[in-house]
Structure 1
Amino acid sequence: MAEEFRYQQLENWLLQGLQGERWRLGERLPSIRSLCQDQGLSKATVQHALQRLEAQGWLEARPKAGYFVAARPANANPPTSRARIDSPRPVTVSELLLDIMGRSAAFDLLPDLAAGELPPGIEALNRAIGRALRRQRGEGHQYYDKPEGNLALREQLAIHQGRRGWQVAPDQLCVTSGCQHALFLALMATCERGDVVAVESPGFYGVLQLLQQLGLQAVEVPSSPDSGMDMDALEAVLERWQVRAVIASPAFSTPSGALMPLDNKQRLLALADRHDLVVIEDDIYADTALGPAPDPLKALDTDDRVILCGSLSKSLSRDLRVGWISGARWHARILHLKLVTQLASSRYLQQGLAEFMADGYYAAHVRRQRQQLRANRDQLLAALNGWPADVRASVPQGGLSVWVELPEHVDTLAAYPRGLEEGVVITPGPLFSVSGQFGHCLRISYAHPWTADRVRALGKLPALLL
């Protein structure tokens, strides 16, 4: 039998199994050794067939683990709801969001869940912070840190960004109290009350909270669950209204996990130059990438008009509250506003984090987390595929959540109190819109492993929603 026919025969057999769900989403295929023995084939023949299926998007190779069934965007049923473009308006954020946050369930289906075992990365981080605290000597604790933050941490952040394709000097970075604080500083430094800000729709409700607090107006720009903010729609908005700034998350925007392609990034910068826009890049999810982290939009900024905001909250610890901002031409004003709004960041936290990163623990943590997040995502998508209705879901390559579109008659806001009665916290779609759109949509997070309790909570959703 010709070698070509052998690998094609194996490829077809595996493909039939994948299409027939012999191996489900996220499951591991038999090992190369097992396939060689069972099929009577050489290792090279088996590898060739597996690599061809990987290239087609059916499989994903994981180092030292084998081949797994991949989530294939081409086979997915992506959401189709598109935001309408309304006139700019003041923002009023729903009180329901405060209820969700009060239940500690912004990224979980379960409220106030007791903490489990610490992952290795967090244990190493705690040790590093503890050592930094013990090293405090003399009267150093009586003094404030510089507004721009600890130099050693800024050096580590600059190295980290350099690996992603953005060469930045430490003095171009300012440490903040998380990404939300960085976004707040960016808006305060560049906008005045009543200004119009273009936002993704669906988009991050935290941005909407900031716009409300600062008295800014929002205009919603439709966003795709695959490629993010629609550049045609943004151009139409800019031609119609005077917009001061645009806030975008090119790397895995919430709630869909969309990844903005390079040509859209370039077009966004061209539009910003033509209309003299401030571009505020929310880069908080970049390190949750299931593959290599994408280059930031800031790496393409030749006109010094992109303000990059980031944090380790989503990739390391939400409790850490350490972020950063690179303020472009507004950096000096941002440093002044940091002094006014926060004065200084915790010295020993920054020192401990700098040591944690310098010793390679953060990079190792991200590698481990990538595998866990992929498994979490695939398990969620597999469960959604089994729901008894027309359910459309994004297939993110990063971020922490899936955007789920249900039949149009579904009212996720009305389902919220019913979910609480069942011990489940859902995150309704209207929270991600200025105008309350997406009532039949919701965000479901895969930030946490699917324990038995979470699987039971997920299993309750069809009865609550459909």
Structure 2
Amino acid sequence: MSQFKYLELEHLLRKDIRANHFLPSGKLPSVRELCQNLGFSKATVLHALHRLEAEGLIFSKPKSGYFVKTVTPNDRLSPKRINPPAAPRDVTVPAILKDIMTRSAAFDILPTAGATNDANHLITLNRHLSKALRSRPTQKALYYNDSSGDMRLKDAIVTHYRHRSLNQDPSQVCITGGCQHALFISLMATCSPGDTVAVESPAFYGVLQIMEQLKLKIIEVAADPEEGLSVDDLAEKITEWPIKACIVSPNYATPTGAFMPEKARRALINLAVEKDFCIIEDDIYGDLAFPPFTAEPLKKFDPNGQVILCGSFSKSLSRDLRIGWVFGGKWHDKITQLKLVTQLSSSESIQQGLATFLEEGHYRRYLAQQVNTLKQQQRELMMLLDIHWSDNIRYTHAQGGISMWIELDESINTQRSYNKVLEQGVIMTPGSLFSASGQYKNFLRLSYIHPLTEQRQAAVKKLFSVLLG
């Protein structure tokens, strides 16, 4: 059974439930009807229904079928999709982003509260790194290693991706200084100053920073908060404005947590082949799928080499590692040369220590625990929002990742409120940071990567007290 088949049906049914296409307590189509009308197997249909039942959207009655729950989570009030301007434009990132990053608050509204998560995996990781540092210290101190990266680490990364149904040649992997660096050299390899790049909107502000630095023009492409980039909108725009590349995060994109259905993924790749542009896949959240499924990379559906995949361990394991990678395909040699120019080489000790950490299964065991933790922390944040502000906000309910996209009343400007919120000791990430055209003024991003302690609950309350008055 294809992983994406049941996810596709799950997304379809969830969307219909949230749109009130079924009455509260109303009966869903039978398993047989869903199989016949939509072409899914019985196993696929049952898997999707069981997941929606576990989520609390539906319930089953013996010998009667499945029914919509009378009270469904507030997440069915998902933020609106906004259609960005069509024409290409230059990119200018607001100065407020630098302030947020200086305060180490990219994913934490209260960084002064510190981290309280279990650190056993980091202790184990540090043990592997320390052992690698002690091995051949003089050799490592006096010589550079292969600019493209340590082959043992490449093998370990490729082996890890096989668990997500992607097979790659380790010799075609380039190790980078994090995902941001991977995206940077991928854009350098595929574009020149003045070229136009398509980016889903809302977009990761790190991509906007890179484009500003490389003097690239942007076309913002509409993206559904639940299902990601609109291939139809992209296809319409590139008939008038040809693009060199398209940057997309198909698995739990920040800030929305959107997840692209398989049909849209295949359509995007077909469009890239037809119009001859490169797809740069940001897979940094791909490992953070909530149980029981895994998220397959877009590159899995790429028979013609149109997709460059970029990733890192910074969101799933440790920001401090600064290790990322690129599966560059036909651009591999150029990307490797750009890695040499921009970073020369990566730390051999850190690469070797990380490789043994992966080889011994520590990363996969940690992930199995971490995704459950993230799912629970997401539920706690949703509950807090529902209890206090259910009538004033709309938010996304991702099935993975670390981000929640929140829409407020159109009269509210979150960027203008940044300093007022800051006066309360709380650091907010305004929605306007995720657009090059000034969209999403009444939006903000929240993260559930940290436990919702009493301090952070108080910070969330202060945040909305300022915004909602």
Please confirm whether the aligned pair reaches a TM-score higher than 0.5, indicating the same fold: yes
Larger Rg: 1
1:166 aligns with 2:163: no
Spell out the pairing of 1:136-285 with structure 2 (5 A cutoff): 136-285=136-285
Which letter maps to 1:399? G
How far has the Cα of 1:206 moved from its partner? 0.2
Contact 1:111 1:423 in 2 (8 A): no
Q: Which residue of 1 aligns with 2:395?
A: 393
Deviates more, 1:371-380 or 1:76-85: 76-85
Q: 2:409 corresponds to which letter in structure 1?
A: P
Q: Distance in 1 between matches of 2:75 and 2:157?
A: 38
> Match of 2:311?
310
In structure 2, C-alpha distance between the alignment counterparts of 1:73 and 1:141, rounded to whole Å: 56
User: Post-superposition shift, 1:368?
Assistant: 1.0
Query: Residues 16-415 of structure 1: matches in 2 within 5 Å?
Result: 55-59=52-56, 76-116=76-116, 119-291=119-291, 292-388=293-389, 389-415=391-417
Report what 2:32 is aligned to: none
CA distance in 1, matches of 2:112, 2:345: 30
* Cα deviation, residue 57, structure 1: 4.5
Pairwise CA distance, 1:73: 7.3
1:447 aligns with 2:455: no
Of residues 287-296 and 204-213 in structure 1, the stretch that sits farther from structure 2 once superposed is 287-296
Q: CA deviation at 1:435?
A: 0.7
Kept in 2, the 8 Å contact 1:73–1:395? The answer is no
TM-superposition CA deviations, 1:87-124 (whole Å, max 9, x none): 10110000000000000000001144445465211111
Distance 1:162 1:194 in 2: 37
The 1:307/1:139 distance shift into structure 2, 3 A limit, reads same
Structure 2, unaligned runs of 5 or more: 1-47, 58-68
Residue 148 of structure 1 and its aligned partner are, at CA, apart by 1.1
Q: Contact 1:105–1:112 at 8 Å: present in 2 too?
A: no
Deviation at 1:172, TM superposition (A): 1.4
CA 1:379–1:315: 2 relative to 1, 3 Å = same
Cα 1:157–1:72 shift into 2, 3 Å: farther
| Cα distance change, pair 445–198 in 1 and its aligned pair in 2 (3 A) | same
Instruction: State whether residues 84 and 437 of structure 2, in contact with CA within 8 Å, keep that contact through their aligned partners in structure 1.
Output: no
Residues 140 and 348 in structure 2, CA contact (< 8 A), matched pair in contact too:
no
Q: Percent identity?
A: 43
Q: Give structure 1 stretches of 5+ with no counterpart.
A: 1-50, 61-68
Distance in 2 of aligned mates of 1:248 and 1:419? 31
3-state SS of paired residue (2:280): strand
Per the TM alignment, residue 152 of structure 1 is displaced from its structure 2 partner at its CA by 0.8
Contact (CA 8 Å) 1:104, 1:112: kept in 2 or not?
no
Aligned counterparts, 1:414-433, within 5 A: 414-433=416-435
Partner SS, residue 458 of structure 2: helix
In structure 1, C-alpha distance between the alignment counterparts of 2:454 and 2:323, rounded to whole Å: 32
Instruction: Give the root-mean-square deviation of aligned CA atoms.
Output: 1.9
Moved more, 399-408 or 130-139: 130-139
Structural mapping, 1:452-463, within 5 Å? 452-463=454-465
Name 2:33's counterpart in structure 1: none
Q: Secondary structure at the match of 2:287?
A: helix
> Number of aligned pairs?
407
Aligned to 2:65: none
Shift of the 377–331 alpha-carbon distance from structure 1 to 2, 3 Å rule, reads same
Partner Cα separation in structure 1 for residue 210 and residue 49 of structure 2: 48
Is the 1:121–1:365 contact (alpha carbons within 8 Å) kept by the matching residues of 2? yes
The letter of the residue matching 2:395 is: A
Distance change (3 Å), C-alpha of 1:114 and 1:52: closer
- Is contact 2:228-2:258 (8 Å) kept? yes
C-alpha contact 1:89 1:219 (8 A) present in aligned 2: yes
Distance 1:197 1:374, change over 3 A: same
Change in 2 beyond 3 A, CA 1:252/1:117 = closer
Distance, in Å, in 2 between the alignment partners of 1:287 and 1:224 is 21
CA gap of 1:54–1:166, structure 2 versus 1, over 3 A, is closer
Q: Distance in 1 between matches of 2:335 and 2:435?
A: 28
- Deviation digits for residues 181-237 of structure 1, max 9, x if unmatched? 000010000100000000010010000000000000001001111110011111111
Cα–Cα, structure 1 residues 133 and 53, in superposed 2: closer, same or farther, change >3 Å? closer
